[in-house]
Structure formats: C-alpha cells, structure tokens
C-alpha cells in the first residue's frame, strides 16, 4: 500500500502525459485480449473464401434482367444479390425522395384537408414497423391479386397479376453504345447552352429561357443521334403464352416480381413519411421573411416553393436526408422476410448450404459499409455544393 | 395594444367562411380539395367496408394467446399479471403527478381500455384486468388529489421514478425466476415489450460510455469506440441478428452456459449492443451541446475529472437528448419485430403462426392489421409523450 501511495504522489503519476499513456495501454491491452479471445474461439469456425468459387447449386428466383440458375460460382450468386439490392435501393431512394417532398410540402399546405391527409399519412406509416408493412403489401395485397389468367390488363400492354407486373420496355441493340456517347455530348452541350443563356439573362436583364434552351439542345442532339445510330432500342411488349400442360405464362417487356414491388412500396411509403418530416422541418426552419419577400416580388405559390423555399431548405435538409438514405439502404435487407433475393438473402442461402458463417457475414457487412460510404460521400459532396442561403 | 373586435357570427356563416379560406380560396385549391376528398372517401370506404363487413376478426380473437404471449407456458400465465399491475399503478400515478389529462387524452384512454377488455377479458382475466384499471385509477386520484404539500409531492415523484426503474427487473424476476418460464418460451407482444425495454436499459449505459470514449482525448480509446460505433451502424440489424444466431454462441466464453444461451437471450444481447451504438451517437450530440463554461466552472470549484463527467456533463447531455432517446426507443420497439425472421414467436411471428393454421388460412389482412395497430398505438403514444417531454424540459429554449 505504501508503495501505491508513494507512486500516486510521485511526479511520474502526476504528469498528465504519463497518466494518459498508462490508461491507454491498459485499455488497448483489454480490447486486444477480448479480440484475441474471440479469434481463438473463432478458429473452430470455418474461415477463408475458397468456398465462394465453388458451384452455388441453388437457383435465384427469376428477376428482371437476371436469371441465375445455380451452375455458376457462389461469387456470381452473391453478385446477383448485390445487383438486386442496388436496384431496389436506387428505385427506393428516388421514389421516397419524391413522395417525401410532396408529403412534406403538403403538410404545410394552407388547404386544411391536404395538410390533414399528409399528417395522417406520416403519423400512420412512421409509427408502424416496416417489417409488418412489407409482409402486408406482399401477402395481403400483391399475392391476393388475381392470377395470370384473370389478371388485370391495361390496353393489352400492361399486365398485373399475382405473378408479376409486366410493362413494355425497350432493350438496347446495335449501336447502343454509340448513342450513349451522343447522350453524353448532348448533356455537355445543353450544360454549355444553359450557362450561355444565363449569362445573356444577366447581361441584358431580360428572360432568356435557359431551361427551355438547355432541354431543346439536349433533346435535339439525342433524337438526331438516335436516328443516326440506326434506332438502337428495340421496344418489346409483354405477351401471354402457354407453357406445357396448359400453364399460362407471360414473357417479354419488363417484368417486376411481387417481391420487388412489395419491398419497393413498403420502403418508399415508410421512408417517405420520415423524409416528409425532414422536409417540413427544414421549410419551417427558414425565416418567414423568405416567403413574404417571395410574395412581395409577386411569385406564385409553385414558383415560391421551387425557386425560393425548397432550394434554401435543401441545405438544412441534406444531413438528415443522408441518414434516411442510409436507413433505406439498410432496411432493404428486410427482403429476407419475403425471400426477395437481395444480398442478405443470397448470403444466408450460401451460409446455409456451405457453412462459413463468419466470412459470409463479414462479406455482407463489408458490402453495406461500401454502399453506406458511397451514399455518404455523394451526399457530402452535394452538401458542399449547395450554397448556404437565407441568413 | 391592439384591441380585437369580436363579432359574433352564426355558426353556419363561420363554417362557410372557414371552408372558403381553408379549402376553396382559389380554383387550384378547390381542385386540390375535391381530389383529396375523393381520395379520402375511397380509402375510408375500403377500410370501413373491410373492417366492419369483409373482415373475419375471429382469427385474432381465437389466437389472442398466441399473438400476445407466443408459446409462453400456460401454467405460468398468472405470472404476467403482477408486472402489469405494477405498470398500471405507476402509469396512473405518474399521470396524476406530472401530466394533465385533457378530454381527448381521457377519451383515448377510455377507448383503449374498452378495446382491451373486449379482446382479452375472458374468464379470470376480466377480474385481473379490473384490478389493473382500479389500481391505475386509484393511483391517479391519489396522486392528483391526495397529496398535500410540496414535500409529499417530491417524495411521491421520487417513489414513482424508483418504481419505473424497478419495473423491468421486477417483471423479469416474476416471469422467469423461482421456477418460472424458460426465457426461450417468452413470446408474443410480451416478447416485443421485454426485448425493447431490456435493450434500451442495457444500451443506455453502454451508449453513454461509448459516447464518452468517442469524445475522449485519448487516441486509443477514441479509435476503438469509433470503430465499434461505425461498424455496428454500418450494417443492418437483421445481419447482426443473424450474427447473434450463428456466430455469437461460438465466441462467448463457456462460463455460466453463456455459449449455449437461447435465441431470445441472444436477440436481447444483440439488440442491446446494436442500440448502444445508436445511443452513443445521440449522446455525442448531447455532449457537444453542453456549454464549455460548465466544465470550466466545475474545474473552478475544484471537482475532479470523474466528478465533472458524471455529475456535470453527462446529466446535462442526457437531458438535452431525451426526445432523441425516445425516438430511438420507438424505432427499437418497431425493430423488435425482426426477431420473427429468426423464427421467434413475437407479436408478428405469432400473427403469422396464427394464419398458418388451416382454419385461418388467408386471413393475413386481419392479423397483420391488428398487429400493426398494436405497434402503432404504443409507438404513437410514445411519440406524443416525447413531444410533451420536449416542451416541459424546455430543450432548445435556452
């Protein structure tokens, strides 16, 4: 004891730097011990990635553009899973943002009925578990649709049934890549045209229609390029057919499975409710003078919103919006509940067949980390680009 | 001073003026009103027709045991009542001590009590529910009317807070200890409630420690805690639950049978570890909101590092983030449904099990709507409570 007291009173312990290093060493030592222990236990688990090269041996339910039969490697199966997650997330992000902005603006509408409806939407869907919503859309709505024989048809080109939603689609052929190049040129030219018209507007003080000009330039080059490349898109209509044993099938066009539709619906409606709250909060955070000034210069309701309020609210909106985007990305993993073959579902199937729980879960986590990082990076870039306005 | 002249108008005229300014101020607005009306009418028609005509709610009534308790053993069913009674007592008392119940709140409470009775009051349960109602009402009246003087108020509030803190341990002991149910048999909404409360109470201290670690000036501590927080937040909860299912038992030390804990306990552990990372980020925001002057003042009066953190910084940080913590609790409450993917019979898993019986085939709409309704009521009540707390704490008003 005497030694301890002496040590505590010595200059060595009293010096901040020494104390900091002692504390940190002990902390690091403890963490290292725990990790080592886990690693030592984990040797009983299978490690390594060789198993990913083996033949997968399970088919992945047919989705639009992919048809994985299981004869290829597990790596390819996983890649299909990642592709399925990415397309679900991208569609979800776009639609949820749209719905969220509409609902958020509607909540602030002067029309009592509209604002009440938007409030009800937000409060109902935000406070209900997403998993229940997914299962509800899937089992209680989409799977209850009539089967293919009695399914809903719109003008013989759109088919809605409990098997799939089939719509016309155009597939690339021939000089498609060349046309993509033309599109890039069109985008660059329309950007230049936009800058030129804005500069003219500022010089002369008269409206010079920058948006219309830019759109016209883009469409012009795109259409000319499309014809020049020999119309490199082949439109395709969904068609009914009969497989052996008289089973009805549908082929062609774009076919969306009920699993995908259910997930997309649920993710969009759920996340849209959260985004609506963010939009509302950001608009309310703007000084009232902005609205009043916009009214004073004679802008109408729509222009007031799109030209004055939303661009400024955007700056406040982006950080919490990023959070919701990340949530949507992670929530897409609830696909396992209804067997949509996303990356978690495929990963689980691989783990079920081959074991190797630790490498599979590490791969899943690494994939989500990469996706989260990409979304954060893009949103941070956007955040820096949007000017801080209003104050 | 502006003097307002109040002109009495007939209600009909007032209603017309209100409708004109709020619904039909111009052509666009009128169109919007009509479209919205049509939409609301359609949704209301579909819902009302379903709820009162098409739906067969017997699937919920017949399976209420499965949905509320899962596979909880029948012989231990009486054990769920003491925690419920304590909860009723505390809820009634707290409402009397802190809240004012307005007409709408009272109506909501009466409606939910009636619904609960209609659904669950069969046999002895009716009397037991009656006990809960009497306890809540009695505690409310006692707290509202029976307390004389400031000292009694303060003592009662302290007792209530202590009661809330003891509710969860009490419930766990009553349900599981002394030859009670095995934890693996916990189920239904009871499981959702237990998962959420256990996880939030375990995650709070973990989250505070992680947040302090991330804000620490010691690089090793900061790197380790940041890595933990970001890794956990980077992957979806369902992936972590799979880890708990397949990997956790293999890395836990084989003492106290930790390596053989059942799925319910694994889910509890993982939900706590998961929520801890999110709470850490919330608390970090709170730590940053504590004015630097507070720390300087504490140093000036001679407090040591530990005392400054534990008595000055953390309490103020937590007070500032109470609304965010309630949001986290709400999202945790909704997320507990994910354990049904692991095959546990929670509220959602029980509902799905109910429709897998042949006589209730195809009744998904009824059970899913019912389960969603139960989750919604609790989540919505919590979000209202959070708004109220926000106002009474005066966060953001200083």
Chain B stretch 36-95, residues whose beta carbon is closer than 8 A to a beta carbon of chain A: 36-37, 39-40
Give the model's pLDDT for residue B394: 60
Is position A207 within any domain?
no
- Per-residue confidence (pLDDT) for residue A13, from 0 to 100: 61
Same domain, A375 and A282: yes
Please, how many CA atoms are within 13 Å of residue B178, restricted to the half-sphere of its CB?
Answer: 8
Residue carrying structure tokens 């659904």: B119
Inform me whether the pLDDT recorded for A5 exceeds 80. Answer: no
Q: Which residue has the higher pLDDT, B309 or B396?
A: B309
Domain assignment present for A102: yes
Nearest to B364 among A24, A41, A140 (CB): A140
Helix or strand (DSSP H, E) at A256: strand A254-256
Same domain for A335 and A271, yes or no, is yes
- Residues B47-81 pLDDT 10s: 899 888 887 888 888 888 888 888 888 777 778 88
Do A361 and A293 share a structural domain?
A: yes
Q: Is A233 helix (H, G, I), strand (E, B) or coil?
A: strand
Averaged over A231-236, what is the pLDDT? 78
A–B interface: beta-carbon pairs under 8 A: 146
Q: Label residue B397 by pLDDT band (50, 70, 90).
A: very low
Q: What is the pLDDT of residue B8?
A: 64
User: In terms of residues, how long is chain A?
Assistant: 391
Residue A48 inside a domain? The answer is no
The mean pLDDT value for B21-40 works out to 83
**A18 and A85 both lie in a single domain:** no
Distance CA B279, CA B393 (A): 19
* Domain interval for residue A32: 2-42
pLDDT (tens digit, 9 = 90+) per residue, A259-268? 999 999 999 9
CA distance B382 to A127: 10
Which B residues 268-327 touch A at CB under 8 Å? none
Q: How big is the CA angle at B89 (ends B88 and B94), to the nearest 5 degrees?
A: 100
> Is A339 in CB contact (< 8 Å) with chain B?
no
Q: Which residue of A has its CA nearest to B236?
A: A330
Q: What is the residue whose two structure tokens read 């067997």? A: A339
Chain A CB contacts of B242 below 8 Å: 344, 348, 361
Percent of chain A with pLDDT over 90: 27
Residues A27, A121: one domain? no
Which tokens sit at B12? 């009909």
* Structure confidence at residue A9 as a pLDDT band (50, 70, 90): low
A125 inside domain: yes
Chain A residue with minimum CA distance to B327 = A127
The pLDDT assigned to A388 comes to 59
The model's pLDDT over B283-338, given as tens digits with 9 standing for 90+, comes to 988 888 888 888 889 888 888 878 888 888 888 888 888 888 888 999 999 999 99
Chain A touched by B330 (CB under 8 Å): yes
Assess whether A19 and A102 both reside in one domain: no
Residue A294 included in any domain: yes
Q: Would you say residue A212 has pLDDT above 50?
A: yes
- Asked if A285 reaches chain B (Cβ–Cβ under 8 Å), the answer is no
Query: A250 lies in a domain?
Result: no
Q: Do A350 and A290 share a domain, yes or no? A: yes
Tell me what the pLDDT averaged over chain A comes to: 84
Residue A37 sits in the same domain as residue A81:
no
Q: Which residue has the tokens 């959702």?
A: B192
Taking contacts as CB-CB distances below 8 angstroms, the residues of chain A near B37 are: 113
Helix residue ranges per DSSP H, chain A: 2-9, 11-14, 16-42, 74-107, 112-126, 130-135, 176-204, 210-228, 258-285, 288-296, 301-303, 310-331, 343-354, 357-385
Nearest to B234 among A45, A132, A372 (CB): A372
CATH code assigned at A362: 1.10.3720.10
Number of domains comprising chain A: 2
- Is the CB of residue B35 less than 8 Å away from at least one CB of chain A? no
Chain A contact present for B251, CB below 8 A: yes
Q: How far apart are CA A174 and CA A176, in angstroms?
A: 6
Dist. CA A225–CA A229, nearest whole Å:
6
For A362-391, what is each residue's pLDDT tens digit? 899 999 999 999 999 998 888 888 765 444
Query: Using 50, 70 and 90 to split pLDDT, how confident is the model at B96?
Result: confident
For residues A280 and A368, state if they share a domain: yes
Q: Are residues A366 and A293 in the same domain?
A: yes
- Please name the residues in contact with B183: beta carbons below 8 A apart, sequence gap of 6 or more: B176, B262, B264, B265
- pLDDT higher than 50, residue A53: yes
pLDDT the model gives residue B229: 92
| Contact: B330, A348; criterion CB under 8 Å | no
- Any domain includes A9: yes
What average pLDDT does range A143-156 have in this prediction?
Answer: 75
Is A183 within the bounds of a domain?
no
């Amino acid at each position: 004891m005497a030694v301890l007291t002496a040590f505590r009173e010595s200059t060595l312990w009293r010096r901040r730097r020494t104390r900091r290093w002692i504390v940190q060493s002990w902390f690091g030592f403890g963490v290292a011990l725990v990790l080592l222990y886990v690693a030592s236990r984990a040797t009983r688990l299978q490690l390594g990635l060789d198993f990913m090269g083996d033949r997968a041996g399970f088919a992945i339910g047919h989705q639009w553009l992919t048809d994985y039969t299981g004869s290829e490697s597990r790596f390819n199966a996983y890649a299909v899973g990642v592709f399925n997650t990415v397309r679900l997330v991208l569609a979800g992000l776009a639609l949820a943002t749209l719905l969220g902005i509409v609902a958020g603006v509607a909540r602030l509408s002067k029309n009592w009925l509209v604002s009440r409806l938007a409030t009800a939407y937000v409060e109902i869907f935000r406070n209900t578990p997403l998993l229940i919503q997914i299962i509800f859309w899937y089992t209680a709505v989409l799977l209850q649709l009539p089967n293919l024989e009695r399914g809903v048809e719109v003008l013989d080109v759109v088919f809605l049934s409990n098997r799939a939603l089939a719509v016309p689609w155009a597939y690339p052929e021939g000089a498609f890549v060349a046309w993509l190049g033309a599109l890039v040129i069109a985008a660059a030219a329309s950007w230049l045209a936009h800058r030129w018209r804005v500069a003219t507007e500022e010089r002369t003080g008269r409206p010079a229609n920058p948006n219309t000009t830019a759109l016209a330039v883009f469409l012009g080059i795109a259409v000319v390029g499309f014809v020049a490349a020999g119309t490199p898109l082949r439109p395709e209509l969904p068609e009914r057919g009969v497989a052996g044993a008289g089973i009805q099938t549908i082929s062609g066009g774009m076919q969306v499975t009920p699993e995908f539709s259910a997930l997309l619906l649920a993710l969009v409606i759920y996340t849209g409710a959260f985004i609506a709250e963010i939009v509302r909060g950001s608009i309310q955070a703007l000084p009232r003078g902005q609205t009043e000034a916009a009214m004073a210069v004679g802008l109408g309701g729509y222009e007031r919103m799109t030209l004055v309020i939303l661009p400024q609210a955007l700056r406040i909106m982006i950080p919490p919006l990023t959070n919701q985007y990340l949530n949507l990305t992670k929530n897409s993993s609830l696909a396992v509940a209804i067997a949509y073959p996303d990356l978690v579902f495929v990963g689980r199937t691989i783990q079920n067949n081959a074991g190797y729980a630790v490498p599979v879960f590490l791969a899943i986590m690494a994939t989500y980390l990469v996706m989260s990082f990409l979304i954060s990076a893009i949103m941070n870039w956007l955040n820096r680009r949007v000017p801080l306005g209003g104050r | 001073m502006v003097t307002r002249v109040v002109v009495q108008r007939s209600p009909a005229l007032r209603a017309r003026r209100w409708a004109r300014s709020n619904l039909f101020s111009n052509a666009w607005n009128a169109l919007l009103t009509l479209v919205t009306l049509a939409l609301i009418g359609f949704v209301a028609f579909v819902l009302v027709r379903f709820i009162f005509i098409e739906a067969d709610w017997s699937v919920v009534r017949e399976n209420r045991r499965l949905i509320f308790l899962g596979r909880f053993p029948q012989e231990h069913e009486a054990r769920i009542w003491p925690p419920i009674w304590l909860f009723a007592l505390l809820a009634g008392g707290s409402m009397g001590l802190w809240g004012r119940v307005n007409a709408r709140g009272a109506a909501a409470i009466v409606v939910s009590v009636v619904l609960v009775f209609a659904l669950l009051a069969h046999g002895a349960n009716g009397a037991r529910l009656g006990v809960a109602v009497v306890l809540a009402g009695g505690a409310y009246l006692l707290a509202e009317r029976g307390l004389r003087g400031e000292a009694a108020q303060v003592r009662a509030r302290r007792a209530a807070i202590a009661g809330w803190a003891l509710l969860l341990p009490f419930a766990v002991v009553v349900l599981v200890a002394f030859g009670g149910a095995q934890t693996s048999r916990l189920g239904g909404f009871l499981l959702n409630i237990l998962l959420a409360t256990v996880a939030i109470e375990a995650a709070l201290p973990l989250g505070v420690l992680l947040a302090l670690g991330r804000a620490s000036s010691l690089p090793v501590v900061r790197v380790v805690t940041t890595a933990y927080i970001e890794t956990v937040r980077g992957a979806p909860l369902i992936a972590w639950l799979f880890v708990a299912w397949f990997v956790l038992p293999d890395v836990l030390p084989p003492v106290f049978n930790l390596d053989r804990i059942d799925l319910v306990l694994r889910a509890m552990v993982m939900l706590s570890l998961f929520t801890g990372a999110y709470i850490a980020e919330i608390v970090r925001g709170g730590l940053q909101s504590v004015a630097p002057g507070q720390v300087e003042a504490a140093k000036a009066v001679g407090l040591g590092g530990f005392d400054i953190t534990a008595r000055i910084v953390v309490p103020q940080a937590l007070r500032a983030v109470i609304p965010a913590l309630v949001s986290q609790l709400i999202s945790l409450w909704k997320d507990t449904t994910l354990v049904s993917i692991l095959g546990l019979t929670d509220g959602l898993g029980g509902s799905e099990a109910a429709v897998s019986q042949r006589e209730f085939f195809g009744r998904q709409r009824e059970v899913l709507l019912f389960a969603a309704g139960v989750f919604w009521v609790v989540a919505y009540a919590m979000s209202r409570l959070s708004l109220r707390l926000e106002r009474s704490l005066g966060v953001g008003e200083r």
